[in-house]
C-alpha cells in the first residue's frame, strides 16, 4: 500500500484554486491528472466523479473535501491537492465551505488501495494541526512535507 505522500503528485498542488463552485474546482484539479496522462478518458472520469458527488457529498466537514472516483478512465492511483482561500461549497455535512480539496483518481482494479487511500487521507485530515498547516503553506513542497509529517 502506498502512503499518501507517495501518490500525491509533486506537481499536482494548486495553492490557489480559481474555481469557486464544486464542478469548476474539480475540473481545475482534474486537468492536472489529464495533462499528466493519469486520466486517459477525461469525459468518463468526470462522469464517474459527478456520479460519486451525486450519491453523497464528498465535503467531509472541517473545511475539507475529498472528491474521488475509481474508474477504467484512470491509469494509476494519484492524488491532486488544491487549496481555496475563499472556500468552495461542497455541500459539506457541517455546512461549511471546503478550503482543502484532495482529488483522488484510481483505476477500476485498485479497489483495496483506493479504499485504504481514502481512509488514510481522512484520518490525516482529522488532525487540526495538519489542516491548519495545509491552510498556511507557501509552496507545493510544503504540502508534501506536511503530509509526510502527519501520515
Q: Measuring CA to CA, how many Å separate 135 from each of 34, 66, 77, 112, 138? A: 25, 15, 24, 29, 9
pLDDT tens for 59-95 read 999 999 999 999 999 999 999 999 999 999 999 989 9
- Evaluate if pTM is beyond 0.75: yes
φ, ψ of residue 138 to 5 degrees: the values are: -110, -15
The architecture in CATH of the region 4-150 reads: 3-Layer(aba) Sandwich (3.40)
What mean pLDDT, rounded, does the chain reach? 95
pLDDT at residue 1 tops 80: no
Q: What is the mean pLDDT of residues 27-48?
A: 96
Domain boundaries, the chain: 4-150
Which residues, in sequence order, are CB contacts of 115 under 8 Å at separation 6+? Answer: none
Amino acid at each position: 500500500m502506498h502512503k499518501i505522500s507517495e501518490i500525491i503528485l509533486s506537481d499536482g498542488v494548486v495553492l490557489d484554486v480559481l474555481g469557486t463552485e464544486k464542478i469548476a474546482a474539480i475540473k481545475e484539479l482534474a486537468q492536472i491528472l489529464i495533462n499528466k496522462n493519469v486520466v486517459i478518458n477525461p469525459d468518463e472520469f468526470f462522469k464517474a466523479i459527478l456520479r460519486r458527488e451525486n450519491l453523497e457529498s464528498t465535503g467531509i466537514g472541517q473545511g475539507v473535501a475529498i472528491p474521488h472516483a475509481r474508474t477504467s478512465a484512470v491509469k494509476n492511483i494519484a492524488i491532486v491537492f488544491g487549496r481555496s482561500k475563499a472556500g468552495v461549497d461542497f455541500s459539506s455535512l457541517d455546512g461549511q465551505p471546503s478550503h482543502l480539496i484532495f482529488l483522488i483518481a484510481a483505476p477500476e482494479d485498485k479497489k483495496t488501495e483506493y479504499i485504504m487511500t481514502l481512509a488514510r487521507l481522512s484520518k490525516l485530515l482529522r488532525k487540526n494541526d495538519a489542516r491548519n498547516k495545509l491552510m498556511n503553506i507557501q509552496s507545493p513542497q510544503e504540502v508534501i512535507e506536511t503530509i509526510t509529517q502527519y501520515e
